[in-house]
């Protein structure tokens, strides 16, 4: 606990770019909202980091295109490698994402900057990006599932995101009925498909679940 609190203190002492604050009307984006808003969704391997003083950028190698027109050769997001020493404190290994989870973010998103900031070389992330002035901007929404690590390209979270991307491609007026129909189909499938169906039904019962993301 002491080590984690120490790390939180270090993150909070970092520059404003690494700080987090949220206030109404911000709501944590759900999977369908992320799928709608993203211009690019990929699986990407963490290759390392580019550190400059008290800031660090994780370097990603995209491997699988889930949404978008082409697979970029390189992506970045704010992040540190495990084992990096900051003010005599060695960053611990990242908390691995629960492969069965579809709603809650990785535990490391619940401290410091409100999104994950510690990564390990070689881990595979499912990440969301927006096109901004000709560049790819990581969708670093606080407490959202925007950088979960996955064990494979066929894992539960990857399959869920693929389902939501397919629905997000439909006209807005058709998405709710399409999700209801797809949830009924998935409910008759295997354990992962049933879990995705339950989450879809949760969203269908949630007010505003299909609305555009509310920015901070």
Higher pLDDT, 182 or 4: 182
Residue-wise pLDDT for 143-162, tens only, equals: 999 999 999 999 999 999 99
Which token pair is 23? 């206030």
Which token pair is 209? 């679940």
Which of 112-151 are b and which e, b meaning 16 or more Cβ less than 10 Å from the residue's Cβ? bbbbbbbbeeebbbbbbbeeeeeebebbbbbbbbbbbbbe
Which token pair is 21? 């604050």
Q: What is the pTM of this model?
A: 0.90
Q: What pLDDT sits at residue 110?
A: 87
What phi-psi label fits residue 208: left (phi over 0), alpha (psi between -120 and 50 degrees) or beta?
Answer: left
Q: What pLDDT sits at residue 25?
A: 84
């Amino acid at each position: 606990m002491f080590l984690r609190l120490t790390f939180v203190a270090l993150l909070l002492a970092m520059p404003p770019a690494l700080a987090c604050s949220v206030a109404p009307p911000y709501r944590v984006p759900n999977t369908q909202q992320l799928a709608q808003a993203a211009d690019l969704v990929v699986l990407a391997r963490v290759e390392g980091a580019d550190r400059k003083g008290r800031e660090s950028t994780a370097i990603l190698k995209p491997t699988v295109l889930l949404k978008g027109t082409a697979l970029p050769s390189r992506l970045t997001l704010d992040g540190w490698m495990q084992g990096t020493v900051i003010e005599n404190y060695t960053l611990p290994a990242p908390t691995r994402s629960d492969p069965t989870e579809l709603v809650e973010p990785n535990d490391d998103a619940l401290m410091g900057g409100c999104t994950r900031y510690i990564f390990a070389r070689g881990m595979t992330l499912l990440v969301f990006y927006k096109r901004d002035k000709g560049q790819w901007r990581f969708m670093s929404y606080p407490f959202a599932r925007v950088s979960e690590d996955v064990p494979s390209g066929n894992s539960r979270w990857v399959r869920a995101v693929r389902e939501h991307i397919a629905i997000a491609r439909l006209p807005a007026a058709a998405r709710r009925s399409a999700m209801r129909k797809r949830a009924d189909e998935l409910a008759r499938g295997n354990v992962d498909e049933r879990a995705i169906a339950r989450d879809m039904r949760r969203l269908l019962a949630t007010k505003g679940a299909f609305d555009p993301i509310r920015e901070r």
